[in-house]
Structure 1
Amino acid sequence: MARMRCAEALVRALELEGVRHVVGHPGHGNTNILDAIYDSSQISFKLTRHEQAAAHIADGYARISGDIGVCCASVGPGPANMVMGLASAAAASSPVVAIFGGVISRWVGRGQLQETSPFHGLPDQSFVQVLQPVVKKVWQVQHPDLIPEVVRKACGLARAGNPCPVAIEIPWDLQAAFHDFDEIPDPKQFGYAGRVRADAAAIGQAAEALQYATHPIIVAGYGAVLSDAGPEIRELAELLGAPVATSYAAKGIVSEDHAQSVGNLGWLGHPSAHEYIREYADVVLAVGFSFSDLSTCWWTEGMPFVEQNRFIQVDIDANQIGRTYPVKVGLLGDAKATLHEIVDELSAKEAPQYREANQELIEKIKSDFCMDIPGEEGGATGMEPLRVVEELRRVLPRDILFSLDTGDHNHYFGAFFPIYSPRRLLYPGGWTPMGFGPTSIIGGKLARPDLPAVCVTGDGGFLMVCQEVITAVEWGLPVVWVVFNNQTLGAIRGGQQGSYGGRVIGTEFCENADYAALAKSLRAEGLTVNRYCEIEEAMSYALACGRPCVIDMRIARDPAPPPIAGMWFEPERDEIPPRPRR
């Protein structure tokens, strides 16, 4: 038994979970926790300039490392600012643990500083209810003895099954209190280390359906990445002669220059992936693939899935199986373990009859697709994004950490910027908050300092979180941000032009910022690129300088659209005739 402050017990429990970094912002409601971290030889506290950024950074760390990311805030406004980042992590199945302070226990309900209840006669409710839609569970710790147990359960639940954020609230006064703690047990004594395998009979049915399929395809979602199922997907694809398509977030689960890869699906999907599914596929093996609106073009027939597709669905979450499309075989279990069993079943059988023919078909579909890349130099009107994407992929190293923000720029990267390894892409996913890309890449670099780290962001998203450039400077993390500067919120402006007869409002910037100068004011490197021929030199310098660097990339405001296979959904409305503004 040892006597210590409750905040020290919290930190000790985090150490036993293998935590190395806690990312956040201080306030009076969490300074006891920070003081306990001060004495830790294992955990470092990483200061951000905003709590939203802390949550995004923890999310990026979790996605790249494959383990929990921890963020910490004060009471009231601190966790309120984290909601955006936690929602983004929840939408992406990312195991983030958020720890924050609570008001003094004995005065709850009196309207303390930063207490949310009661405000102006509103119901007496705790702030934690705001978090409940975006986390698996919120713990409110009321007794010292519960702290080690809550930390163990929170970290375990964040990692378990379909990962998701969790949150822990510890009152300000409880953090400071001394208590006699029993020895904190090793959390490994309480966890389950194995992988959940699907039902053996269902595995046999799936293997048989795949063996006799004429044109099978594997579609991999982010659940396959979480399970580290890339080797099994590749082996199964080669065994069947089947193509592999992915969600945007799962790009790289099988290298996108592999013979079986046909790119990503959905409204930003690659034409080759859509053509194979729409025109040929009879059996679709979906692995950790949620069939979301973005991946199915709002469940539109032929975009890419069609009625003749028969689905075999592997997922760790029973709620996902058959949720949007009927399944021939549903396999509830870990993707890696389940695919391993399917491979074993198929390896014991004769080779699939159509393997060689399928491989030839994949090669034909891929070779038939031809993309026109703009050849003229950028200039006064700005550069074409598609040409910039090609130049960036040409000059960047093969193995990099790469993040994208929400915005028009990522319309060009999904199908046409190949990723070659899993856990290399940070994509804003189903929540799609602006500001995710520039911040999550800091967390990714913290997790993998050995890899170059590059973010491509729009100017709108960058301006929401640009203060975090100095965070990377202070942490000594040489991140590169490429800002697609087109002086507009391009994705929404494009929608206005297409849907409202050219009536554009609220999406054009009247003044243009100098992002290179802004970077220098934040003690980072700053460069400006106006022409395609300048991209290689700028990127080479940014990667070699050993410091955070912002590249202000001047992009055309009205570029050529990308040749993607999908479509965006718009509710039906009467046609709005074009008319001049008043």
Structure 2
Amino acid sequence: MAKRKGGELIAEFLIGEKMPYVFGICGHGNVGLLDPLYERRDEIKLVSPRHEQTAVHMADGFFRVSHQPVATLTSTGPGSANQIMALAVAQTDSSAVFSITANVPTSQFNRGPFQELNMHHQADFDNVIKPVVKRSFQPTRVEMLPLAMRQAATTMTTGRPGPVNLDVPYNLFQEEGEISNEAPSSGLGNRRSGASEEDVAKVADWLVSAERPVIFVGHGVTLSEAGEELTKLAKRLSIPVISSPNGMGTIDMRDPLSLGFIGRNGAYAANQAGRHADLVLAIGARFDDRSASSWKPGYSWNFPATKLVHVDVDHAELGRNYPPDLAILADARAFLRQILSELDRRGVGGDARLVGWLADIAGWRKEWEAFIAPGFEIHASPIRPERIVADCRKVLPEDAIISLDSGIHHNWFMQFWEARRPQAMLNTWGYSGMGFGPSSILGAKLAAPDKVCVSICGDGGFTMVPHVLCTAVEYNIPVIWVVWNNFAWGAIRDLQYAYFDGREYGTAFRHGANGEPYNPDFAAWARAAGVDGYTVTRSQDFAGTLEQAVASGRPALIDVHVDAEIRPPATGAWELPPIPPKEPVFGGPWRP
């Protein structure tokens, strides 16, 4: 075997894993890897955003759309530390990211060289990153690289996907060894565990005998690409489907069996169905506090009075928040195919027993639609939030991809967005990191260049990562940012209004000279970066402006002035202990 540099081994490995991109930022620690990437630039492309957080969010967005992991690259010290929040977002939302970080050279371990962390252990950055990745690998010789890379890639995509870290002392990029790469990992989706025959039979028995069943789906169904199987099961047995945000689109949300999101800002019919169900089949869902009304009985769910079957590929989620009557460790698609096969074997089809249950749900949906309808029809300046959602639904094509940041705009879209397809609604849900939405949409567009990709983001979140404008221009990534401009950290200001007698402090954006509401001119900011910029203050103008931005095929930003005094109507609860939660605005809690 010919001697090869560690950097050459890494580049070859990434290509062998079919990673088309490295999202990374240069530094003295990784310059030794940039040259091998240059040599292979026709096979793997380096995209360099202006901040390491955005690099990881881009990789996260790329994975959520394509289910193909890509790599990130950062230098020693601060550059790698800048990833931490974005990796936490990827970890809690189960996105596979191959994070390559550089570290100080092995010959200088524990001598305190430039940017070494050594208070507790030499070259100790891997202990900084460990809480936000599935595992961190730190090879210290070139000969250790192939095994570490293969194990990292396998860890990243096995079971519940997530980010991994390869922390490389930067001398390894240039040092040589007589070695070859190991075989590529088998990739996501090639290891699908199923349920036992006994459990499948038991679930089938319960489904066909339940009088008020619902299916609750989360990101696990999206990751398993099980939308087709989910839809078949729901339609076959006429069972309504409730979705977490990351499960939205696995069944077409305009289908009558789709009830939408559940929880504080869920749809009324979803919360009512959850409260009244006698059987819940949860697949790839976590029952986190926001989708379970902080686990308060009667607000979204009624366990243990309601029978629960919990299916998940991650054993740690089974029983974490609700003890299931039946826990099944299985991949979502494998399990759904097993259930469908069991129903085939039994010759089971539609069930007239559920006519009454579906009629109840239709009644709740009608009540809810009558309550919310006026807000969707009113034209105003500033613009009512419902109009933004409605016009996005009207203008954007069915296969459009949207990303949502943390903030009040996300609550509105959780409640009223109608995702038509899976992998088309990107949420920062588990860790809820600001900056995800405006950044991840760049990765989403690279994963799906033929799709319209739109980031709906708050004014606060966008201001955290405005450099995304530069990346869109530099790499010709024609995405659209809709900046939800309410001149405040609106979601937190609303909490102050609700719980602290309306005393606002530190949450409104005001001009220091006159105290008036203040934000930069986002449209002018965009134009200064080379991005088309628009400002919309009247609801009559938003749809046309969005149509123009979509048609242009260029990067564009729309600064939309939204009425900050209108809040999404709560139909569940969310608790900030020890403060008692507010009661639902529409539809009080049901008690068994």
- Per the shorter chain, which TM-score range? over 0.9
User: What's the CA shift for 1:505?
Assistant: 1.0
Write the mapping of 1:110-189 to structure 2, written as runs, cut at 5 A: 110-118=111-119, 126-182=124-180, 184-188=181-185
Amino acid at match of 2:292: T
With 13-22 and 360-369 compared, the bigger mean Cα shift is at: 360-369
Check conservation: 1:247, 1:266, Cα contact below 8 A: no
User: What's the CA shift for 1:188?
Assistant: 4.8
Residue matched to 1:101: 102
Cα distance between partner residues in 2 of 1:571 and 1:67: 39
Check conservation: 2:153, 2:185, Cα contact below 8 A: no
Residue matched to 2:586: none
User: What's the CA shift for 1:51?
Assistant: 0.3
Check conservation: 1:401, 1:451, Cα contact below 8 A: yes
Partner of 2:481: helix, strand, or coil? strand
Partner of 2:336: helix, strand, or coil? helix
User: What's the CA shift for 1:110?
Assistant: 1.0
Check conservation: 1:203, 1:331, Cα contact below 8 A: no
Cα distance between partner residues in 2 of 1:301 and 1:450: 45
Partner of 1:409: helix, strand, or coil? helix
Amino acid at match of 1:284: V
Residue matched to 1:37: 37
User: What's the CA shift for 1:148?
Assistant: 1.8
Unmatched tracts of structure 1, length 5 or more: 576-582
Write the mapping of 1:222-237 to structure 2, written as runs, cut at 5 A: 222-237=219-234
Check conservation: 2:116, 2:123, Cα contact below 8 A: no
Residue matched to 2:278: 282
Check conservation: 2:221, 2:247, Cα contact below 8 A: yes
Partner of 1:493: helix, strand, or coil? helix
Residue matched to 1:318: 315
Check conservation: 2:104, 2:123, Cα contact below 8 A: no
User: What's the CA shift for 1:574?
Assistant: 10
Amino acid at match of 1:288: G
Residue matched to 2:255: 258
Q: Please list the CA deviations of residues 499-557 of structure 1 after superposition, one character each: whole Å capped at 9, or x if unmatched.
A: 11122111111132100000011111100101111112211111111211010001123
Residue matched to 1:303: 299
TM-score computed with the length of structure 2 as normaliser = 0.93
Q: Please list the CA deviations of residues 344-365 of structure 1 after superposition, one character each: whole Å capped at 9, or x if unmatched.
A: 1123334445244444444333
Partner of 1:150: helix, strand, or coil? helix
Residue matched to 2:564: 557
User: What's the CA shift for 1:332?
Assistant: 1.1
Check conservation: 1:415, 1:564, Cα contact below 8 A: no
Partner of 2:246: helix, strand, or coil? coil
Check conservation: 1:255, 1:261, Cα contact below 8 A: yes
Which of 214, 218, 229 is residue 215 of structure 2 equivalent to?
218
Cα distance between partner residues in 2 of 1:387 and 1:564: 18
User: What's the CA shift for 1:129?
Assistant: 0.4
Q: Please list the CA deviations of residues 471-496 of structure 1 after superposition, one character each: whole Å capped at 9, or x if unmatched.
A: 01111111000001111110111111
Confirm whether residue 547 of structure 1 aligns to residue 554 of structure 2. Answer: yes
Residue matched to 1:532: 539
Write the mapping of 1:354-503 to structure 2, written as runs, cut at 5 A: 354-370=353-369, 371-374=372-375, 375-379=377-381, 382-503=382-503
Cα distance between partner residues in 1 of 2:319 and 2:519: 48
Cα distance between partner residues in 2 of 1:201 and 1:278: 28
Cα distance between partner residues in 2 of 1:91 and 1:195: 21
Partner of 1:167: helix, strand, or coil? strand
Confirm whether residue 77 of structure 1 aligns to residue 78 of structure 2. Answer: yes
User: What's the CA shift for 1:573?
Assistant: 5.0
Cα distance between partner residues in 1 of 2:209 and 2:458: 47
Residue matched to 2:2: 2
Change (3 A) 1:218 1:340: same
Cα distance between partner residues in 1 of 2:239 and 2:447: 34
Cα distance between partner residues in 2 of 1:505 and 1:144: 54
Check conservation: 1:248, 1:265, Cα contact below 8 A: no
Residue matched to 2:573: 567
Amino acid at match of 1:378: A
Cα distance between partner residues in 2 of 1:309 and 1:326: 11
User: What's the CA shift for 1:567?
Assistant: 2.2
User: What's the CA shift for 1:247?
Assistant: 0.6
TM-score computed with the length of structure 1 as normaliser = 0.94
Confirm whether residue 55 of structure 1 aligns to residue 53 of structure 2. Answer: no
- CA RMSD of the aligned region, Å? 1.8
Check conservation: 1:89, 1:95, Cα contact below 8 A: yes
Q: Please list the CA deviations of residues 62-84 of structure 1 after superposition, one character each: whole Å capped at 9, or x if unmatched.
A: 11111213111001111100001
Residue matched to 1:523: 530
Cα distance between partner residues in 1 of 2:2 and 2:357: 66
User: What's the CA shift for 1:192?
Assistant: 8.9
Cα distance between partner residues in 2 of 1:77 and 1:459: 26
How many correspondences in the alignment? 567
Amino acid at match of 1:155: A
Check conservation: 1:493, 1:504, Cα contact below 8 A: yes
Residue matched to 2:514: none
Change (3 A) 1:161 1:512: same
Cα distance between partner residues in 2 of 1:19 and 1:116: 30
With 355-364 and 549-558 compared, the bigger mean Cα shift is at: 355-364
User: What's the CA shift for 1:318?
Assistant: 1.6
User: What's the CA shift for 1:240?
Assistant: 1.4
Q: Please list the CA deviations of residues 230-281 of structure 1 after superposition, one character each: whole Å capped at 9, or x if unmatched.
A: 11111111121110001112111111011210111122211111111213x1
Amino acid at match of 1:276: A
Change (3 A) 1:534 1:474: same
Confirm whether residue 269 of structure 1 aligns to residue 266 of structure 2. Answer: yes
Q: Please list the CA deviations of residues 292-324 of structure 1 after superposition, one character each: whole Å capped at 9, or x if unmatched.
A: 111101101122101421001111112211222
Cα distance between partner residues in 1 of 2:354 and 2:502: 50
Q: Please list the CA deviations of residues 25-50 of structure 1 after superposition, one character each: whole Å capped at 9, or x if unmatched.
A: 10011111111111113100001100
Partner of 1:566: helix, strand, or coil? coil
Q: Please list the CA deviations of residues 118-170 of structure 1 after superposition, one character each: whole Å capped at 9, or x if unmatched.
A: 4xxx6656011011111111011111122122111111111110111100011
Amino acid at match of 1:569: E
Check conservation: 2:150, 2:182, Cα contact below 8 A: no
Cα distance between partner residues in 2 of 1:80 and 1:485: 30
Residue matched to 1:578: none
Change (3 A) 1:176 1:125: closer
Q: Please list the CA deviations of residues 410-438 of structure 1 after superposition, one character each: whole Å capped at 9, or x if unmatched.
A: 11111211111000011011100111100
Cα distance between partner residues in 1 of 2:269 and 2:188: 43
Confirm whether residue 512 of structure 1 aligns to residue 519 of structure 2. Answer: yes
Identity of aligned residues (%): 35
Cα distance between partner residues in 2 of 1:574 and 1:322: 25
Cα distance between partner residues in 1 of 2:60 and 2:569: 31
Cα distance between partner residues in 2 of 1:267 and 1:160: 33
Check conservation: 1:434, 1:461, Cα contact below 8 A: yes
Amino acid at match of 2:18: G
Cα distance between partner residues in 1 of 2:253 and 2:573: 22
Cα distance between partner residues in 1 of 2:189 and 2:150: 13
Cα distance between partner residues in 2 of 1:329 and 1:261: 24
With 439-448 and 125-134 compared, the bigger mean Cα shift is at: 125-134
Partner of 1:323: helix, strand, or coil? coil
Residue matched to 2:585: none
Amino acid at match of 1:441: I
Residue matched to 1:23: 23
With 10-19 and 363-372 compared, the bigger mean Cα shift is at: 363-372
